[in-house]
Amino acid sequence: MESTSLWAKMRVRIKQDRCAVSNVIVVMLSLVLVVVIVANVVLWSYQMNQLDLEREQESVNILLATRSSPWYTAQQEFTIVQGACQGGYFVYTQIDDGAAEQFIEEKSSNIYRLEINNSFTINLSSFPLTYVGSIQILLKYQVDSTEDYWHLNAWNWTLVDWSDLGCSKPTSAGTWVYFNVTANDIADLVNATDGRVRVKVVDDVNVTDTNKQQQTSLYTDFLAVRALLKGSCFKFKNCGSLTVHLVALWVIDSDDNHSRYEINLFMSPGEIVTYWTGITWPSGSYVVKVVTERGNIATVSGE
């Protein structure tokens, strides 16, 4: 009887010990689970804080967003082949401000002629001819007589001669006229070595002006050349202390049309990157946005 009672007591004790061990195991597993959860929360919080910190340290600027080069103006006095200068200097033709250099026709028998030319240099280091689709020449002028057609010529480096790009005839005297021409034959009109474009302004050639009473004066307020790109050019600068990954580019036009383009550009701190793309440039006003992988956005707008 005593052995039976002892055995019963031992079985009860064993059950109690098993329960105790189970409780210990449950507690230990719970502790492990709590530690894992806390560690994940702390890690997530650290990662979020680190991401916020990196986002604050990241800084990108859009230095340039364009489909054309700037206007390149004359850097020296005009060569006068026929005619004369009546007043002003070539610097007056660099800004569209109403201050003009004045030229007057030369009279020989019954022929009145005026011919001036100058060189304009496109910066090929900033706008390589590979990305140029055409050149644009703009002349803002005024005359005191409406009897003449005024031609814009560009020097053809292949033919070694002048190419006539078109003419303009004002409808009234004393009114400013914007004469704008575009030429696509880049290989012929732009010197591939130094980017020079030679431009000539001339009135009608070999026209006998029997009815003219006086020589015509030409007021040249602005004359310049620029390159029109095949697509668009963007220039970005990393102004922060971290490497930046640009992932998207947005172009918003004046009609609020949003166009998104994926890009993949890595920029070191302080680096400036020129990005050439076939993106069609919108007409009118625009907004350009570039987005980084960390979620920062740089914006520039214009017209």
What does CATH list as the number for 58-66+232-302? 2.60.40.1260
Q: Are the beta carbons of 116 and 78 closer than 8 angstroms? A: yes
Task: Give me the amino acid identity at 46.
Answer: Y
Task: Looking at the structure, give the CATH architecture of the domain made up of residues 72-230.
Answer: Sandwich (2.60)
Give the pLDDT confidence score for residue 276 in this predicted structure: 94
Output the DSSP codes for 39-71. HHHHHHHHHHHHHHHHHHH--EEEEEEEEEPPP
Q: Are the beta carbons of 62 and 221 closer than 8 angstroms? A: no
Q: Are the beta carbons of 93 and 101 closer than 8 angstroms? A: yes
Output the CA torsion sign for 287, 293, 295, 298. negative
Give the pLDDT confidence score for residue 178 in this predicted structure: 98
Domain boundaries, given as residue ranges, for the chain: 1-35, 58-66+232-302, 72-230
Cα–Cα nearest to 188, from 179, 180, 202, 198: 198
The three-class DSSP label of residue 133 is strand
CA 118 to CA 202: how far, in whole Å? 12
CA 34 to CA 85: how far, in whole Å? 91
Instruction: Establish whether domains 58-66+232-302 and 72-230 are of one fold.
Output: no
Give the pLDDT confidence score for residue 65 in this predicted structure: 93
Q: How far apart are the first and last CA of the chain?
A: 107
Which position has the token pair 């890009």? 263
Give the pLDDT confidence score for residue 230 in this predicted structure: 93
pTM, 2 dp: 0.79
Phi, psi of 5 (to 5 degrees): -65, -40
Output the DSSP codes for 164-221. EEEEE--SSTT--EEEEEEE--HHHHS-TTT-EEEEEEEE-TT-B-TT--SPPEEEEE
Query: Mean pLDDT by 10-residue block, N- to C-terminus, for the chain (303 residues)?
Result: 57 56 60 60 54 80 94 98 96 97 91 95 96 97 93 98 96 96 96 98 74 87 97 94 94 89 95 92 88 94 85
